[in-house]
Amino acid sequence: MEMKVPKIFKLVRYNLAAVNSVFVLTGVVLLIVGIVVLVKNTEYEDLITNRFFTLPGFAVATGVIILFVSVLGYYAAISEKFYFIAGYVALLLVILIFEMSITIAAFKLKDEATSAIRAPMVASIQLYESRRDIARLWDELHRDFECCGAVSVNDWRLTSIPVSCCHIDYGTISPFDCVMGSTYPEGCMAVLGAWLSNNANVLAVTALVFTIMQIILTAISGWLAWRSKFETVELES
């Protein structure tokens, strides 16, 4: 099959290199977003479940895999050999499955964030007086999110209410009593759940955009693989 094409489209090499460069960009961004979400979630690792670490961890791993696969993409572009390009396309399909999985799991986690942290938060609040690290974590949570207890201040009825449950103005002199009527009104489960939900949403939207891009990149790469095997391209002079 003989055909003439404009010079800009003359070789599989340049087209595949361009596709692979976009592929690399998606890998870098996915890697960064995954790391950021993972680090942010780690701040409250004793209050949340493994789902909040597994998902961004998988995103980070997928980003790393993309960078490795891109090496084959550039080699396939340089060599223009069908089998290398076909192998590259096959790996793009695998990455597409990974990104679809991240998208689905992230949107699901976004909707279930608050309910997912109920059990670990209720369990950890019982350790407030016996473990200093847990007490520090809860105090920081109270101050950062201006909340009190897991569900509400009523979670502290069996013990004294932590001072961190109340807003303390600058210049306040001890003794200071944090009593029921002066505590932050909202429970920490709701606000922390909303914060974690937002983190999951960022990851979900990122993965969704890249899934759409990946479908396009895979289709173009498949077309270039077909060209490398079946087309003889005559260049314009």
Residue 113 CB contacts under 8 Å (≥ 6 apart), including other chains: 52, 193, 194, 196, 197, 200
Whether the predicted model's global pTM rises above the 0.85 cut: no
Q: Quick one: average pLDDT of 45-68?
A: 94
Q: Name the 3-class secondary structure at 45.
A: coil
For the chain, the structural domain boundaries read 2-116+194-235, 121-188
pLDDT tens-digit series, residues 161-192? 888 888 877 756 667 677 777 788 899 999 99
Of residues 220 and 134, more confidently modeled: 134
pLDDT in tens, 23-56: 899 999 999 999 999 999 999 988 999 999 999 9
CATH number listed for the domain at residues 121-188: 1.10.1450.10
What pLDDT, on a 0 to 100 scale, did the predictor assign at position 156? 82
Distance CA 137, CA 141 (A): 6
Place 234 in a pLDDT band, splitting at 50, 70 and 90: very low
Question: In a 3-state reduction of DSSP, which class is residue 184?
Answer: coil
Angle at CA of residue 136, ends 134 and 142, nearest 5°: 100
CA separation for the pair 133, 146 (Å, rounded): 19
Q: Supply the pLDDT for residue 173.
A: 61
Distances (CA, A) of 234 to 1, 10, 11, 18, 226: 10, 8, 10, 21, 16
